Amino acid sequence: MRILFFIFFSFVSLFADGHIFVYHRFDDDRYPSANTTTQQLISQFEYLKQHNYKVVPLKKFIEKIDKKESIPNNWVALTIDDAYKSFYTNGLKIFKKYNYPFSLYVYVEATRRHFGDFMRFEEIKEASKYGEIGLHSYSHPRLQQLTQEQIIKDTKKAYDIFVKNTNIIPKSYAYPYGEYDKKVQNVLKKYFDFDFILNQNSGSINSKTDKYDIPRIALVGKVDIKKKLKYKTLDAIWIKPQNFPKDNILKSIYVKVDKKYKRLQLYITGYGWRWVKVKNGEVKVDLNLHLKRARTRLILGVDTYFISNKIINKL
């Protein structure tokens, strides 16, 4: 019995994956694709509570990654992007009721200039009593379209204005639109002292996760949190493509995975799923597909939920 328990425990630990979710608006039916009703939020929180999930601060995930320790598969972290007013007026009280920590990412220009839909600095300071606060840029640009100097300027402006108005030192950053590339990632890592950076790719978190490329699953619109909690990370190295092709033609993909796989499923926005062969740990597929969307998601998976994914954006 002890041997069976050890084998089972080792298996669970090896494949343990935590999950990070992202919200935007609350009870704001003007924007259904970015909205979560308070009833949906309560239902999701009840599911987490009743199924023994532990909602922890994001920094606990980072501590595990830094130590290369396995992340418990019942760990969940909750994030909110943009700092919309509806979080303060409709969502925050529910987070407080369940005593669930969160990380709020601030679109600084919208707060500074008092855009109507966004929280004020005083409200952000009040929210900081219950959760962590990070940056979501100054002007919410598409960072891939900026030069290195422009990325630095926007981020420094966000940082300086935010600290001046809140006395809070932001230790993390969320890419605007969830969009980035290696250039963007390297600039933010080199010039700013962020402990971690978040994207918006579906996936889970484990000890191998790059803490400057952390996936989050959107809980907006009509979603089933039970299904979202099924996501597991397929270890994969994307070699091609790295960027959106200039001629809109995706000529091929090249990804390295574990040699134990013989075939995997490939998803491309606008084309759906297809089976692809794996040879000696390499997925090499000639495609020559005309990409239909300026934002294209590529997913490689054992199934729909055990995946690695990459988003490429037309500049």
Q: pLDDT tens for residues 92-133?
A: 999 999 999 999 999 999 999 999 999 999 999 999 999 999
Tokens of 79: 């994030």
- Residue 124 tokens read as 């952000």
Examine residue 1 and state whether it is found in any structural domain, yes or no: no
Count of structural domains within the chain? 2
2 occurs within a structural domain: no
Please state whether the peptide bond connecting residue 176 to the residue before it is cis, i.e. omega within 30 degrees of 0. no
Q: Is 8 within a domain?
A: no
Both tokens assigned to 242: 């790295």
As a whole number of angstroms, the distance between CA 163 and CA 180 comes to 24
Q: In the structure encoding, which two tokens stand for residue 174, read together?
A: 């969320």
Domain boundary among 203, 229, 255: 229
User: Angle at the Cα of 129 (from 225 to 216), degrees rounded to 5?
Assistant: 30
CA distance 253 to 287: 8
Say whether both 197 and 274 belong to one domain: no
pTM for the structure as a whole: 0.91
Given 207, 229, 251, the domain boundary residue is: 229
Quick one: which of 292, 283, 284, 294 has its CA closest to 244? 294
Q: What residue type is 55 in one-letter code?
A: V
Per-residue pLDDT, 16:
65
- Domain containing residue 257: 237-313
- At 43, which helix (H) or strand (E)? helix 38-50
> Which of 13-17, 21-25, 60-64, 113-117 shows the lowest mean pLDDT across its residues?
13-17
Tell me the average pLDDT across 82-90. Answer: 98
Residue with tokens 């040879």: 279
Residue 6 falls inside a structural domain: no
Q: Would you give the end-to-end CA distance of the chain in angstroms?
A: 58
Task: Report the CATH number at residue 263.
Answer: 2.60.40
